[in-house]
Structure 1
Amino acid sequence: MQRGLNTRLGFFILTVVLFSVKSYLAYRTEFNLGVKGSMQELLLAVNPLPAALLLLGLALYLRGRKSYWVMIIIDAIMSTWLFANILYYREFSDFLSFSLMKGSSSVSNNLGKSIAGIIHPVDFLVFLDVVVLILLIAFKVIRIDVNRFKKRYAATISLLGVLLFGANLTLAETDRSGLLTRTFDNNYIVKYLGLEAYTVYDGVKTTQNNATKAHADSSDLASVKNYLSKNRVSPNIQYSGVAKGKNVFIIHLESLQQFMIDYKWDGQEVMPNLDKLYHENDTLSFDNFYNQVGQGKTADAELMLENSLFGLPEGSAMVTDGTTNTFQAAPAILSQKGYTTASFHGDVPSFWNRDNTYKSWGYDYFFSKSYYANADKAKYNLGYGMKDKIFLKDSAKYIEQLPQPFYAKLITVTNHYPYLIDSKNESIKKFDTGDSTVDPYVQTARYLDQSVGEFLSWLKKTGLDKNSMIVLYGDHYGISNNHKPAIAKLLGKKKVTNYDLANFQKVPFMIHMPGLKGGINHTYGGEIDVLPTLLNLLGVKNNDTIQFGQDLLATNRNQTVAFRNGDFVSPTYTKYGGDVYDSKTGKELKHLTTTQKAAVATLQNHVTTELSASDKVVNGDLLRFYQPKGFKKVIKSAYNYKKSAGLKELKKAQKKEPTSLKAKNKGKSLLSEYTTDAPELKSSNSSTSTSDSSSSK
């Protein structure tokens, strides 16, 4: 063995074996790939080999010492890529993509604390083989073979890598037909072909998507229109126009999941304000409402909410397409109906490329970090922007100046991973799951609830609530599927199944308005359905738009909810992580009958077609070729979100349209009516109150 290792081929084989074993162990321990059966086990063990032979084999074409060190450098680069994916997957249950990395500059702000919370010391073991190889060379345990390695032998190894990949792909196709042509789940690619093959696949796919936009034309819309015409349903007439002319508040509940509604912990109701609102007679609450986000997370949720278009299978459409694509979004639709439209976010405007995307969507105003006097003070910030209590209070200054009716979206951020909260703002103890990522979630969720309670109290005191429709929604999961033991404990189960994890994707969705016929609605739906629902409530015609959602209140709607990776839930069947369940009983259907197979296939076809059609619209920028009747194309250059320009425009609007809350109060501000118990503001705010009591006044 010693003699063998002292040859270049022997050292190469050692490097390949160490890298392949390391990759396999990482696949098994760090990723949830859903490996089932001996064939998938075999492919998982074999799939690191082709890439290792091809990439590490490049060093064999070099001479002498250079060959050894280049081999180690290539191993180190591949190990770094594995390391990065382990960290990303731990929190987001997906793999890094070129689209995501391309947009990393727009989400890099405040990521340091998140990464620090994700890294485990054991993660650095992925570099152990690299260190071992360096030490073996440095201390001459393995001697460098300076003899020439014949090029034909190096070429033979490269050919072996290609052939092995071909065999791997062939076996993978027998187990999962159409692996590279009909999948929306990156887990399948890594499970069958390996991380390196996925990277190449993603690169090719990204290039193809870029080419698609360049070659797209109006004829590409034909299939999309055909799909929509077959699947469009009539909205619920009973609710049509009941909110016409009302202000609209969209309150973005960061990372909040449905299981937290009515949840009790440590003898307390965790979210009393939202629980109360959820059960009020004039609140429409949905208990089968799912997040449908992909890698874009919050950005995907915003895209669906305001465009009824799905996020992309890789990266964020707001980042890759938000600046250049044509959109027909809620802000533009309502602005052309006389609404003032504004978004509020207590962080930098470039986060998720909002400063450019919002222009494409037609927002009149974007109140970001520079508009908030407290935004740069360290004690007023946590993680991804201003603390919610301070952010919502400071946003009231601009809300009271917006000409009515207005459409205002407020993006909270404190309940964002890694769920940081200072001791002064803690009002409930941590969960006791033993998972350091999950346990503080309850504390930031409680803080979010208190923040919303204070804001709703101000709306009541000022009378704004009487002329407003308030929409609250959770954008995506807060606790990823990688925390199964903790999830089981939170749900009171010994073990969670994929059926439980599918239902763990539920997020709150509520529509509150005085006089609204409310109640808890059990229809199955998701974020893609929000825009058609709101437009019907507002009495806005919506029968010729390119939207993939359906009115959640429609009686004849299709209740199949598509997840971004191609899985789905419906009132009859749930498919998640490759398993199929009876949605009514939660029982796994391991041996489907012919009838069940046909029913599941029909649902899967609907989901695949819907996702593909939406991707076609976004990737091809097809809305540039279509304009609904009465809709005017958004002129992006007409918008300026710089503070000086925004304040000037707001001041002008006060005189031109004196319909704002402040104008109706004879120019006097109503900010004194806003009470908060934020400890950071106590020195400058003598009027404080507890948020729970303020919401019940």
Structure 2
Amino acid sequence: MDRLKNIINQRFNLAETLYWVLFIICLMLKCLYFQFTTRLNTDPYLSSVNITMLLSSFSILLIISSIIAFAFNKLRFAALFIINLILTVLLIADTNFFRYYYNLITIPVLFQLDIKLMSSVNESILSQFMIKDLIYLIDLPFMLMGVFLLSKNVRKIHISRRAYRSVALLVVGAVTFLSVFHTSNLNSFAYNNNYSAKSLGVFFSHYYNTKLLIEENLLEDDSFTQEDKDSIIALYESKESEKNVSDSRLTGIAKDKNLIVVQMEALQQFVINLKINSKEVTPNLNKLIGDSLYFDNVFYQVAGGNTSDAEFLTNNSLYPAKEGAIYHLYPENTYHSMANILKGKGYNTYSLHGFEKTFWNRNKMHMTLGFDRFFNEEDFVLDDFAGWEGQALSDSSFFRQSLDKIDTSKPFYSFFVTLSSHHPFTYFEDFDFDVGEFQGTYIGNYLKAANYLDKCIGEFIADLKKRGLYDNSLLVFYGDHSAVKKIEAEGLLQLLDMEYSEQEWMKLQKVPLIIHYPNQSKSEVISTIGGQIDILPTIANLMDFDAPYALGKDLLNHDDDKGYVILRDGSVITKDFIYFNDLREIYDFTDGKPLDLKLYSDKITSYINELSVSDIIITKDAFKHGFEK
């Protein structure tokens, strides 16, 4: 009898051990699937960063297991299953969110994802789900079956034995983690949430971001200190010293004229002058470029706020938040925005967007930014729909109705935000524009969406000319963010006949910036490297007003050789190099050859200091609490 009992116990112990092993292996495989299906990590699979991520993820799962082993006794199998289920749901959410926003879900992001926002973007996010993602769920039925079978014979384990098992798992996990933790570039974590996930795994990234949130919002002193003020002043002084006071190209050429800015949804630069079957994708924008200033080296700089970040960058010349959206996090701050500046000069200021006023918290934020009136979905006749699964007012109707809402009898600033070409682009699959072999594909649908947007822009320009506004206004058109995520890179590279590399992919992350000043007839291409943060200072030069708190540069009066753009993740692009903050690698901008990072480290540090100063300005509301230049 005792022998039989021992055999049963041995088999049960073996089954329990297998269950624990399966728990760790299954979650480990899910972690690896997330890291590589999102292309956060790439081949070669045995690279140092991938091995570090693998060991870190494994060690964190051991630490989680140690907590379960000590905290739960007879319910330990149920606890393992529930934790597995929770982490699986988190990974699925991360996967779909990452494919759309190229960022992990964080607590600030969850705060901004209210019901209305989620209901509006769910098509875009859910469209990222793929059949292969079912791999996340394959183990759950078997793990659940194991819970029922093992729970029938489960026995309590004495606390001393539980403690021994827990400590053993904890020690192995902690030692393994500490052995790889200090090999990561910890300084990059402050600028790039993705780097912590790429380097040490998705679970560590969630832990780190939560820890950082608690420290910054609950433990740190958020008062505006003299040290903060000194940091801001030092940056502004360094920027002022870089300016050449003799440079005044086109200064004041649009002084006292109307300002019309159009933010074009998901329009990337590669569609400009692109032809499919001998037909231009953007014929109207191409024609506009023919008598405008065209900036062909402008990169988007948005982060977790996506479209709203582009609005913020353009109107304030400050950087977006490192996670979440400023529109949700800091809507009551004081900003020296373009609308506020022009209001001080007697301009009427309008913002217009044919969607829900609460989306991205625009109803509050646009008021903060100084717009006299925000025309939204409630102010338009919803007579035509196009794009975004047919739930959005068409850009054609949006432009047609908008100009009637503006008092054009006196100087005005109008800020238009288009919508029809919003991801996903499946609405345009049957749109009458031949994309040849790309018909029915993601890239084909996007090209059709871009062509539709271009058609609407053409109608808008014709209306401006008809109303006498075209030659009495400064016109600014720019794209807000990417349309083609890395997961769709293969189709884009096929379209452009390119081979993938991190450097070439980075170069594709440009958006068109087109500026037409009154009575301009001669075109010019400006190739100074810059970003959306530079739009406000460039407009300020053309309209001859001061924007002393802008962190960007005037692209018309900046040395081409000194052009640069800083991305929110801490990466830097100049005419000489491309620096990837997550990789801690630097390459020649022209030929893509690797460079010695040590030779550029001081320059890169000075560049990304702008991110830190911008964060101080925003998080501590510096313009309201004691900062003046």
> How far has the Cα of 1:411 moved from its partner?
0.6
CA change 1:48–1:380 in 2 (3 A) is closer
> How far has the Cα of 1:166 moved from its partner?
3.9
CA change 1:163–1:315 in 2 (3 A) is farther
CA change 1:44–1:173 in 2 (3 A) is closer
> How far has the Cα of 1:245 moved from its partner?
0.8
* Secondary structure at 1:47 match in 2: helix
* Secondary structure at 2:452 match in 1: helix
Paired with 2:439 and 2:469, the residues of 1 have a C-alpha distance of: 43
* Secondary structure at 2:374 match in 1: strand
Give 1:248's aligned amino acid: L
Contact 2:265–2:421 (CA under 8 A) maintained in structure 1: yes
Paired with 1:168 and 1:403, the residues of 2 have a C-alpha distance of: 70
Alignment partner of 1:102 out of 111, 116, 121:
111
Q: How does 1:144-159 map to 2 (within 5 A)?
A: 144-159=152-167
Paired with 1:387 and 1:570, the residues of 2 have a C-alpha distance of: 38
Contact 2:347–2:411 (CA under 8 A) maintained in structure 1: yes
Aligned to 1:663: none
Give 2:468's aligned amino acid: G
Contact 1:374–1:380 (CA under 8 A) maintained in structure 2: no
> How far has the Cα of 1:546 moved from its partner?
2.5
> How far has the Cα of 1:13 moved from its partner?
2.7
Paired with 1:603 and 1:383, the residues of 2 have a C-alpha distance of: 47
* Secondary structure at 1:252 match in 2: strand
Aligned to 2:395: 388
Could you tell me which runs of 5 or more consecutive residues in structure 2 were left unpaired when the two chains were aligned: 1-8
> How far has the Cα of 1:217 moved from its partner?
3.6
Paired with 1:219 and 1:467, the residues of 2 have a C-alpha distance of: 45
Contact 1:528–1:548 (CA under 8 A) maintained in structure 2: yes
CA change 1:226–1:64 in 2 (3 A) is closer
> How far has the Cα of 1:443 moved from its partner?
0.6
Q: Do residues 17 (structure 1) and 29 (structure 2) align? A: no
Alignment partner of 2:380 out of 372, 379, 383:
372
Give 2:80's aligned amino acid: M
Aligned to 1:608: 608
Paired with 1:152 and 1:397, the residues of 2 have a C-alpha distance of: 78
Aligned to 2:125: 115
User: 1:315-351: CA deviations, max 9, x gaps?
Assistant: 11111112x2221111111101111001001111111
Q: Do residues 561 (structure 1) and 554 (structure 2) align? A: no
Aligned to 1:525: 530
Paired with 1:626 and 1:613, the residues of 2 have a C-alpha distance of: 15
**Taking every aligned residue pair, what percent have the same amino acid on both sides?**
25
Paired with 1:63 and 1:93, the residues of 2 have a C-alpha distance of: 37
Q: Do residues 248 (structure 1) and 253 (structure 2) align? A: no
Aligned to 2:415: 409
Aligned to 1:306: 315
Contact 2:62–2:173 (CA under 8 A) maintained in structure 1: no
> Bigger CA drift: 510-519 or 207-216?
207-216
> How far has the Cα of 1:190 moved from its partner?
1.4
* Secondary structure at 1:523 match in 2: coil
Aligned to 2:213: 206
Alignment partner of 1:52 out of 38, 61, 67:
61
> How far has the Cα of 1:50 moved from its partner?
3.0
CA change 1:255–1:158 in 2 (3 A) is farther
Contact 1:63–1:149 (CA under 8 A) maintained in structure 2: no
Q: Do residues 359 (structure 1) and 371 (structure 2) align? A: no
CA change 1:512–1:539 in 2 (3 A) is same
Contact 1:383–1:420 (CA under 8 A) maintained in structure 2: no
* Secondary structure at 1:551 match in 2: coil
Q: Do residues 259 (structure 1) and 270 (structure 2) align? A: yes
Paired with 1:617 and 1:14, the residues of 2 have a C-alpha distance of: 48
Q: Do residues 468 (structure 1) and 468 (structure 2) align? A: no
CA change 1:153–1:475 in 2 (3 A) is farther
CA change 1:437–1:101 in 2 (3 A) is farther
Alignment partner of 2:338 out of 330, 353, 377:
330
> How far has the Cα of 1:598 moved from its partner?
4.2
Paired with 1:202 and 1:381, the residues of 2 have a C-alpha distance of: 31
Give 1:481's aligned amino acid: K
CA change 1:163–1:620 in 2 (3 A) is farther
Q: How does 1:502-517 map to 2 (within 5 A)?
A: 502-516=506-520
> How far has the Cα of 1:66 moved from its partner?
2.5
CA change 1:248–1:259 in 2 (3 A) is same
Q: How does 1:544-623 map to 2 (within 5 A)?
A: 545-556=548-559, 558-576=562-580, 578=583, 579-585=585-591, 587-589=592-594, 592=595, 596-623=596-623
* Secondary structure at 1:520 match in 2: strand
Aligned to 1:646: none
Contact 2:388–2:421 (CA under 8 A) maintained in structure 1: no
Give 2:400's aligned amino acid: K
Contact 1:33–1:188 (CA under 8 A) maintained in structure 2: no
Contact 1:381–1:387 (CA under 8 A) maintained in structure 2: no
Aligned to 2:6: none
Q: Do residues 188 (structure 1) and 192 (structure 2) align? A: no
Contact 2:388–2:425 (CA under 8 A) maintained in structure 1: no
Aligned to 1:129: 139
CA change 1:509–1:386 in 2 (3 A) is same
Paired with 1:379 and 1:500, the residues of 2 have a C-alpha distance of: 33
Aligned to 1:33: 41
Paired with 2:435 and 2:448, the residues of 1 have a C-alpha distance of: 6
Aligned to 1:692: none
Q: Do residues 480 (structure 1) and 485 (structure 2) align? A: yes
Give 1:146's aligned amino acid: V
Paired with 1:487 and 1:609, the residues of 2 have a C-alpha distance of: 34
Contact 1:31–1:89 (CA under 8 A) maintained in structure 2: no
Paired with 1:385 and 1:607, the residues of 2 have a C-alpha distance of: 39
Paired with 1:5 and 1:473, the residues of 2 have a C-alpha distance of: 64
Alignment partner of 2:350 out of 337, 342, 345:
342
**TM-score normalised per structure 1:** 0.82
Contact 1:49–1:161 (CA under 8 A) maintained in structure 2: no
CA change 1:68–1:380 in 2 (3 A) is closer
Paired with 1:295 and 1:390, the residues of 2 have a C-alpha distance of: 29
Q: Do residues 43 (structure 1) and 52 (structure 2) align? A: yes
CA change 1:162–1:564 in 2 (3 A) is farther
Aligned to 1:501: 505
Give 1:286's aligned amino acid: F
Q: Do residues 319 (structure 1) and 328 (structure 2) align? A: yes
Aligned to 2:3: none
Paired with 1:316 and 1:431, the residues of 2 have a C-alpha distance of: 38
Paired with 1:88 and 1:546, the residues of 2 have a C-alpha distance of: 34
> How far has the Cα of 1:155 moved from its partner?
3.4
- The alignment's C-alpha RMSD in Å is 2.6
Q: How does 1:83-102 map to 2 (within 5 A)?
A: 83-102=92-111
> How far has the Cα of 1:133 moved from its partner?
0.6
Q: How many residues get paired?
A: 611
Give 1:549's aligned amino acid: G
**TM-score normalised per structure 2:** 0.91
> How far has the Cα of 1:286 moved from its partner?
0.5
CA change 1:537–1:82 in 2 (3 A) is same
CA change 1:206–1:35 in 2 (3 A) is farther
Give 1:416's aligned amino acid: H
Contact 2:50–2:199 (CA under 8 A) maintained in structure 1: no
* Secondary structure at 2:255 match in 1: coil
> How far has the Cα of 1:251 moved from its partner?
0.6
User: 1:494-533: CA deviations, max 9, x gaps?
Assistant: x211111111111000111233464001111111111111
* Secondary structure at 2:137 match in 1: helix
CA change 1:182–1:10 in 2 (3 A) is closer
Contact 1:289–1:524 (CA under 8 A) maintained in structure 2: yes
CA change 1:391–1:109 in 2 (3 A) is farther
* Secondary structure at 2:586 match in 1: strand
Contact 2:421–2:450 (CA under 8 A) maintained in structure 1: yes
Paired with 1:74 and 1:555, the residues of 2 have a C-alpha distance of: 55
> How far has the Cα of 1:62 moved from its partner?
5.6
Paired with 1:292 and 1:409, the residues of 2 have a C-alpha distance of: 19
Contact 2:69–2:76 (CA under 8 A) maintained in structure 1: yes
Contact 1:470–1:513 (CA under 8 A) maintained in structure 2: yes
Aligned to 1:272: 283
CA change 1:402–1:51 in 2 (3 A) is farther
